[in-house]
Amino acid sequence: MSNGKTYLGVDIGGTSVKLGLVDEQGVIRYSEAYDVAFDRYETPILKTVLKSMKLFLAEHEVTEQELAGIGVSATGGIDTVNGVVIGSAGHIQNWEGSRIKEEMEKMFHLPTTVLNDANAAALGEMWIGAAADRRNVIVMTVGTGVGGGIIVDSKILLGANGLAGEIGHIVINSDGELCSCGNHGCMEHYGSTTALIRRVRDAASCGKIILPEEQELDGRFIFSEAEKGSTAMLELLDSWIDDIASGLVGLVHIFNPELILIGGGVSAQKELFIDRLREKVMARCMPHFVKHLELKAAELGNDAGLIGAVYYCIQQNDLVCDK
């Protein structure tokens, strides 16, 4: 182990948990991923995670005494104060109600903090990523769903019990289609990569687009076709980006950020996605709100949640020490 404090970062997703030893500068010394969905969640995720943590520490010959704390990034709605999962994606059974903080502190005797994964990713970007040295930032992740984190005056906005920042469930179309959350017209239903794929599939079923037989329909294929100049695909992309911009324009007018970061696999598409999204957001916001506003891709990728979870643990430990 190196000099200085070392933390155990834990990033719990729907299919795997990523574990890492992270130092005080946000450098991941070692990391490893373990499957949590191997039996379709019959074994509760938390039980698998705890077992994986013990295995990880043993493999790297790290004792509890060498760690300063545990920072957890977790999928779902998280009661940050108590470190409990209070909302879960419907397909993940045996997850809601998991007492992450309590169980980890009982097993490892280390101070443990728990954040929603999108909030953790936002903090990671603020610490050592694309939002370093920025104080007011909106981070949005576009993937299977739409997630986000909002940083106000260098602090993650958590709300009353840690649920703030659910960007994906801003309503952008009050007469819209049903979302998985039970509401209608949510940005997640219209602005996720899943939504883009659904648009293309619907267009193909109507004969507006002809898809090659046996072609796997995913984001890579869609952007590849758009790059080739497919007019129909470009129009579908443009409509999809319009919907994402609608949600972001509302957030800009509420929070007056200096930076918007876009994460997720599609953020690698600079010309066809990031640049166009920036143009639409800037054009639709009131002038004074865009004077010092930037919009660009996030930098930390799949490490953002792990790094941000540790940063939050460091912040909370410092608060305890100051009292």
85 membership: H or E segment, kind and range: strand 84-87
User: Torsion angle, CA of 279/151/134/124, rounded to 10 degrees?
Assistant: -100
d(CA 159, CA 165): 8
DSSP string, 112-151: EEEEEHHHHHHHHHHHHSTTTT-SSEEEEEESSSEEEEEE
Q: In this structure, are 143 and 205 located in the same domain?
A: yes
**93 shares a domain with 46:** yes
Domain shared by 167 and 243, yes or no:
yes
User: 318 or 25: whose pLDDT is higher?
Assistant: 25
Q: Which of 117, 145, 171 is the last residue of a domain?
A: 117
Find the domain containing 101 and state its range. 6-117
Note whether 190 and 282 are same-domain residues: yes
- Domain for residue 319, yes or no? no
Over residues 263-294, the pLDDT tens digits come to 998 999 999 999 999 999 999 999 999 999 99
The number of domains in the chain is 2
Confirm whether 111 is domain-assigned.
yes
How far apart (Å, rounded) are the C-alpha atoms in residues 77 and 115? 9
The size of the chain, in residues, is: 323
Does some domain include residue 304? no
Same domain, 138 and 57: no
Q: Which of 117, 138, 170 is the last residue of a domain?
A: 117
Q: Does a structural domain hold residue 123?
A: no
- The domain boundary, picked from 117, 146, 181, lies at 117
Whether 278 maps to a domain, the answer reads yes
Question: Percent of the chain having pLDDT more than 90?
Answer: 81
3-state secondary structure of 219: helix
Please check whether residues 147 and 111 belong to one and the same domain: no
Residue environment code for 147-169, b if the CB has 16+ CB neighbours within 10 A, otherwise e: bbbbbeeeebebeeebbbbbbbb
Mean pLDDT of 57-86: 95
Asked if the structure places residue 135 within a domain, the reply is yes
Looking at the fold, whether 195 and 59 belong to one and the same domain comes out as: no
> Residue 124 domain-assigned?
no
Residues 11 and 99 grouped into a single domain: yes
Give the integer Cα–Cα distance in Å for 195 and 179: 11
The residues, ordered by sequence, that sit 6+ positions from 271 with a Cβ below 8 Å of its Cβ are none
Report if residue 286 sits inside a domain: yes
Radius of gyration from C-alpha coordinates of the chain: 20
Instruction: State the CATH number of the domain containing residue 158.
Output: 3.30.420.40
Percentages of the chain per state (helix, strand, coil), in multiples of 5: 45, 20, 35
Q: Within this chain, do residues 174 and 264 fall inside the same structural domain, yes or no? A: yes
* Neighbour-count burial of 287, counting CB atoms closer than 10 A to its CB (0-12 exposed, 13-18 middle, 19+ buried): exposed
Mean pLDDT of the chain: 93
Measured CA to CA, the distance from residue 209 to residue 229 in angstroms comes to 13
**144 and 279, same domain (yes or no):** yes
Average pLDDT of the segment spanning 173-181 = 91
pLDDT band at 323 (very low <50, low <70, confident <90, very high): very low
Specify whether 91 is located in the same domain as 158.
no
Give the confidence band of 14 by pLDDT, cuts at 50, 70, 90.
Answer: confident
For residues 72 and 114, the answer to whether their CB atoms sit within 8 Å is yes
With 80 as the cut, is the pLDDT of residue 165 above it?
Answer: yes
**Looking at residue 216, what is its pLDDT?**
82
89 in the same domain as 25: yes
